[in-house]
Amino acid sequence: MKKILSLIVAIALFASCNQSGQKAESTQEINVAAVKTIELHVTGMTCEGCENTVMEAVNGIEGVTASKASHLDELTSVSFDTTLVSIEKISETINELGYTVVDGDI
């Protein structure tokens, strides 16, 4: 019985981990010609958990197609449709999390 319960808990944890990185389906079409990739200097990230928090929030913005954060490099790379979202909106979202986008790099 303990083995079955452990297996069910492990499956539930695995399923929740796999779903956390998935992005909600967009309500608007992405204009591939308008997609731009930028790198923002982000301070305050201290671990992989911080990286995941930033990526999850940024990926949740309408028009963002991908993001990658590195606490070691203090960089967040964001690909986004410039007709749907601005660099300012992306920076504002990161700043609201308690991290700082260094203004000189916007």
pLDDT over 60 (residue 9): no
Report which DSSP code applies to 67.
E
Q: What is the pLDDT of residue 19?
A: 42
Task: Provide the pLDDT for residue 6.
Answer: 56
According to CATH, what is the number of the domain 30-105?
3.30.70.100
Give the E-state strand segments of the chain in sequence order. 35-43, 64-70, 75-81, 100-101
Q: In 61-90, which positions are buried (b, 16+ CB within 10 angstroms) versus exposed (e)?
A: bebbbebebebeebebbbebbeebbebebb
CA geometry: angle at 82 spanning 78 and 85, to 5°? 75
pLDDT value for 30: 82
